[in-house]
Amino acid sequence: MTPRLRVLAGTSLSHMETITDLVNTNKSHKLSSDLFDGEIVAHIKGMTDEDGNLRDSEYFSREERQGVTWSIQVQGRFQESFSSDDILFGNTFDHPLKLPWGTSAVLKFMNYIDPTLQHDLTSQAKPWALSPLISTMPHFAHKRSCLVDAAELTTSFPPVESLEDSTEELHLTMFDDNKNLSSPSSSTSSLSSSSASSDISSSSAKSSASAKLRQAFRSKKSRSQSGSPHPNFREEVKHLEDASQRRSYFAVEEHRKAVTFGPDDLVTTDFCYGFINFTPTLSLQLPGGLSFDLMRYWDGQPVRFVCCERKRGDDASGEPWGRVFWCIAIEVVDDA
C-alpha cells in the first residue's frame, strides 16, 4: 500500500506549517523570517491525497526531469550577508537513526554525488548530513535582485520551465585580490569591483572549458598551498557553463569563501533526484540494483531537509548545526 504523506515547511524546526495541499500544484508557500525571505514549492511523484487518489504533477513529465521522483524548489534572499561556505543544505534528525545494513554503500554513493558532504549519521544525539548549498544543489540560479525587474520578482516563481543553472551575475558577489566584494547596490556601497583577466577562454568548446577549469583548480590549489597571494576568481566564475562545472568549482572551500550572499542576491534552487521512491512503498534505490525498503527502518521521524548556517564556535544552542533559514519535512502518516 502506498504510504500517505504529510509535508510541512517553515523557517525554523519548531514552527512549520502543513503544505500537503500545495504539493504537486506548482503553488508556493511563503517563507519569511529575520534571516530569509522567499517561497518554497514541493513535488513528490506518487503523492496521494487523504482518499488515496493520485495527485499527479506535470513536473515529472518534463523531458529534462525524467527519472526524478521528488523536487524541492526554493527562491529567496538572505536577510543578512553570509559566506556561501556557511550556507548549508541537507538532512537533520532529532533522534538517533536505525541504520540498515549497507549504509556504507549508501554513504559512498552520496559522496560520489556530492564530495562536499559532511555527516554524523551515527550520532546518538542528533544525526545530520549537510553540504554547502552552492556546491550540492543539482540546479542553482543567481540574480542580483537590484538588476531584476520588479514584475519578474513577483511572477517568476515557480518557473514555468525547469530551472537551469544561471550564474552569469555570480561574479558580482566575489572577492578579488586585496579588494572587497563587487556590488551595484547602495546597501553595500563599500564594495568594489575588479576587471582582472583569466586564463580561461570563453571561446573554447565545453569540453575544452572543463579541462581548463580543472587545470585552473589544480594550479590554484598549488599556489594556495605555497602561500602565494589569494587568486582572482571572478573571471573564472563568469565561464561556468553548467551545473557540473559550478559544483566542481565550488567543491573547493577557498572558492566558496569568496562568495557572499545577502539581501541583494536572489537565489533559486531545485533539489531534485530519483533515488528515493514513494510508491508503491518508501524505498531507496542505488545504481547497481541495490535497494532498501525504508519502511522497515522508519522510526517515525520525518525526512527533514534543512537550509541552515554552519555552526559557529560561539553557538551555544547545543545543536550540531547553526541557525535555520528554511526547512521542509516529509512525514509518513500512520492511519492505524
Q: What is the largest CA-CA distance in the chain?
A: 65
Beta bridge partners of 177: none
Q: How far apart are CA 118 and CA 116, in angstroms?
A: 6
Average pLDDT over residues 312-322: 81
Average pLDDT over residues 187-207: 32
pLDDT at residue 336, as a whole number: 52
Contact 7, 320 (CB under 8 A): no
Contact 193, 228 (CB under 8 A): no
Please report, rounded to a whole number, the percentage of residues in the chain having pLDDT higher than 70.
73
Residue that wins the pLDDT comparison between 172 and 287? 172
Average predicted confidence (pLDDT) for the chain: 79
Beta strands in 79-177 (DSSP E): 82-83, 87-92, 118-120, 128-132, 139-144
Q: Which three cell numbers stand for residue 130?
A: 549537510
**Which run of H or E residues covers position 73?**
strand 70-78
Residue that wins the pLDDT comparison between 229 and 264? 264
pLDDT at residue 183, as a whole number: 35
Q: How far apart are CA 3 and CA 280, in angstroms?
A: 8
Closest CA to 271 of 23, 118, 117, 68: 68
pLDDT at residue 289, as a whole number: 62
Question: Over 60: is that where the pLDDT of 192 sits?
Answer: no
pLDDT digits (tens, 9 = 90+) for 223-240: 333 333 345 788 889 889
Average pLDDT over residues 6-30: 95
Q: Residue 112 contacts by C-beta under 8 Å, 6 or more apart in sequence?
A: none
pLDDT at residue 218, as a whole number: 41
Closest CA to 160 of 2, 322, 26, 325: 26
Average pLDDT over residues 147-164: 74
pLDDT at residue 155, as a whole number: 58
Q: How far apart are CA 283 and CA 18, in angstroms?
A: 23
pLDDT digits (tens, 9 = 90+) for 65-78: 999 999 999 999 99
Residue 192 CA from chain centroid, whole number: 28
Q: Residue 157 contacts by C-beta under 8 Å, 6 or more apart in sequence?
A: 28, 39, 41, 73, 75, 268
pLDDT digits (tens, 9 = 90+) for 101-148: 667 777 787 888 889 999 888 888 898 999 999 999 999 999 987 666
154 backbone φψ class: left, alpha, beta (φ>0; ψ -120 to 50): alpha
pLDDT at residue 310, as a whole number: 96
Q: Residue 165 contacts by C-beta under 8 Å, 6 or more apart in sequence?
A: 139, 140, 141, 240, 242, 243, 246
Residue that wins the pLDDT comparison between 275 and 202? 275
pLDDT at residue 102, as a whole number: 66
pLDDT at residue 292, as a whole number: 67
Closest CA to 148 of 60, 304, 34, 268: 268
pLDDT-derived band at 203 (thresholds 50, 70, 90) equals very low
Question: Over 50: is that where the pLDDT of 221 sits?
Answer: no
